[in-house]
Amino acid sequence: MEGQQLSPQPQLQLCDSLMIWLQTFNTAAPCKNVRQLTNGVAMAQVLHQIDVAWFNDSWLGRIKEDVGDNWRIKASNLKKVLQGIMSYYHEFLGQQISEELIPDLSQITEHSDPTELGRLLQLILGCAVNCEKKQEHIQKIMTLEESVQHVVMTAIQELMSKEIVSCASSDAGELEHQLKRALEELQDALAEKEELKQRCQELDMQVTALQDEKNTLVSENEMMNERLDQLDGSLEDPNTVVAKKYFHAQLQLEQLQEENFRLEAAKDDYRLHCEELEKQLIEFQHRNDELTSLAEETRALKDEIDVLRTTSDKASKLESTVEVYRQKLQDLNDLRRQVKSLQDTNMMYMHNTVSLEEELKKANAARTQLEMYKRQVQELHLKLSAESKRADTLAFEMKRLEEKHEALLKEKDRLIIQRDALKETNEELRCSQVQQDHLSQAGTSVSTSYENLAAEIMPVEYREVFIRLQHENKMLRLQQEGSENERIAELQEQLEQKHRKTSEMETEQRLSKEYIRGLQQQIEDLQKTLQEQGPKPEGESRTSHTWRHLICAYIRPAN
């Protein structure tokens, strides 16, 4: 049955049935339950008995027998058993095990899972029915109970169907179809055998019941004969009740004897039919053996077909390779000429490469010198800019001090003029004071009288307002003079800062112009040098072009 999947209950039946089949081998390790099989020792011994040449003593010696409850050793033994089975299938039988049939060893070692153990035992069964001693192992399977035999045959069919699915081939399709049909016929024959066996059991039960009834009737007949012997005298008279019962019993006896004869004839017919069915079963078994041999021949033919396909692929590849080589031989002369021209071109390129390498070495040396010169120019430029800034700062300070000096000289002249004016005024005041001293005595009384008169004439309200206005006028003059002095100081400070920034920017601009002028002079010198060298070959012109790029790359960051 192709693509057949077993439910959990049949999987348990598979494990139990395969353990019963495993017990047909004489193994030193026990194999009566699932826990005894989880260490892998009994399975390894069974594989050793199946094929001694493949699973030899050295392989069996790698299986550790003193396992105990150590699940790591159990897992190692089961892994070795599974690897040996897979290599036996792949290398000896030339078959590929389907992924669905590979068991999970961790479930067997840790949880004693009968489902996974059944899959592993199913693979061992496949080794047994495909090895050189397969007839002997099949005979052992035929000696098992009918239910166990049925489960084992189902497991073999599942293995064969999975192999058929994984190894499909167009040339062997007919043989596979015949094998499937033979398996179906074998399944039908087994089912018919079961039905006939049940029918034979029913007939045996009927025969047993009829024999019991016959024995009962014989005992009754004996009792009746005894009674007849006792009643011989009374039976002579046919009109008596006993005579009537006797005749009636004789009729029943004759009917029962006829029925017994008919049932014995039916029993003989059924026995003959059972013998014919047994002969048919033997014929089906022989046919199954023939189909098994045909399946083996099919596998061999599949292997031959695979080999022939591989050989055909290799032959087609070789033919294409020969055709390619033939075309290459036809183009060989052109290729030789091309190779010769390429060799000449390669030699020219090699000479150009050598010359370019020499130019590159010179360029690298000049590049290092140029970098050193550039660093020196940058350092000198920095020093020059610093000194220029310092000189401009000193010039600005000097200019500012000169302006202060001029202002101080002007102030000095103004003070001298003011001093002279004050001296003259002082002398005039002295003269006037001398004159007034003479007149003071006479005019004192007069001025006092005038002031008192003005104060007396002016009203009191106007006099207070006049005094207050004079005080406010004096305070406003003082405030105006203070604010004007602060504003003049701030404006002077801002003006000095503007002058300082202007002088710094002029200095930087002047230095930049000088630096640009120097770089332009260097570029002109380099261009004159390159022009004086004159035209050169392609490699040298390329090198000079590279030099120009290097010089421009070094000049550009400085700008």
Q: What is the CATH number of the domain that holds 71?
A: 1.10.418.10
Q: Do residues 18 and 67 both lie within one domain?
A: yes
- Quick one: DSSP state of residue 4? -
Distance CA 245, CA 243 (A): 5
52 to 42, 55, 210, 249, 273: CA distances (angstroms): 15, 5, 56, 75, 44
23 falls within a domain: yes
Q: What integer pLDDT is reported at residue 186 of this predicted model?
A: 66
Residue 232's pLDDT is what?
A: 62
Same domain, 109 and 202: no
Looking at the structure, do residues 543 and 431 belong to the same domain, yes or no? yes
Instruction: Output the six-digit token pair for 472.
Output: 């406010």
In whole angstroms, give the CA distance from residue 6 to residue 114: 13
Measured CA to CA in angstroms, residue 405 lies from 181, 398, 497, 499, 506 at distances of: 132, 10, 19, 18, 25
For residue 444, which amino acid is it? T
Q: What count of other Cβ atoms lies within 10 Å of the Cβ of residue 377?
A: 16
Residue 447 lies in a domain: no
Q: What's the total number of domains in the chain?
A: 3
Instruction: Measure the CA–CA gap between 553 and 465, rounded to whole angstroms.
Output: 85
Mean pLDDT of successive 10-residue stretches along the chain, which has 559 residues:
40 80 86 85 90 88 82 87 89 81 86 88 89 86 86 85 50 56 68 77 83 84 76 59 72 83 82 82 81 80 81 83 81 82 87 87 83 83 80 80 84 84 78 71 51 53 72 79 77 82 82 83 82 56 51 47
Q: How far apart, in Å, are the Cα atoms of 308 and each of 301, 304, 313, 315?
A: 10, 6, 8, 10
The H or E element containing residue 151 is helix 146-166
What confidence score (pLDDT) does residue 166 get?
46
Length of the chain: 559
Q: Give domain status of residue 482, yes or no.
A: yes
Domain end position, chosen among 328, 354, 377? 328
Which two three-digit tokens encode residue 349?
Answer: 């390129």
- Alpha carbon distance 179, 186 (integer Å): 10
Give the per-residue pLDDT at 130.
86
Under 8 Å CB-to-CB from 224, ≥6 apart: which residues?
A: 246, 249
Give the pair of three-digit tokens for residue 65.
């027998």
Do the domain assignments include residue 214? yes
Q: How many CB atoms lie within 10 A of CB 234?
A: 13
pLDDT of residue 162: 67
Does one domain contain both 408 and 533?
yes
- 445 occurs within a structural domain: no
Q: Are residues 25 and 104 in the same domain?
A: yes
Q: What tokens were used for 555?
A: 């000049």
| Residue 89 belongs to a domain | yes
Q: Are 123 and 36 in contact (CB under 8 A)?
A: no
Note the pLDDT of residue 200: 78
* 272 and 159, same domain (yes or no): no
Q: Which of 300, 328, 356 is the last residue of a domain?
A: 328
Backbone angles phi, psi at 144, to 5 degrees: -75, 175
Give, in degrees to the nearest 5, the angle at Cα 8 between 74 and 122: 50
Using only C-alpha atoms, the chain has a radius of gyration, in whole angstroms, of: 67
332-457 and 241-330 are packed helices; what angle lies between their axes, rounded to 10 degrees? 90
Residues 313 and 344 in one domain: no
Note down the domain range covering 85.
8-167
Q: Which of 218, 57, 38, 204 is nearest to 111 (CA)?
A: 38
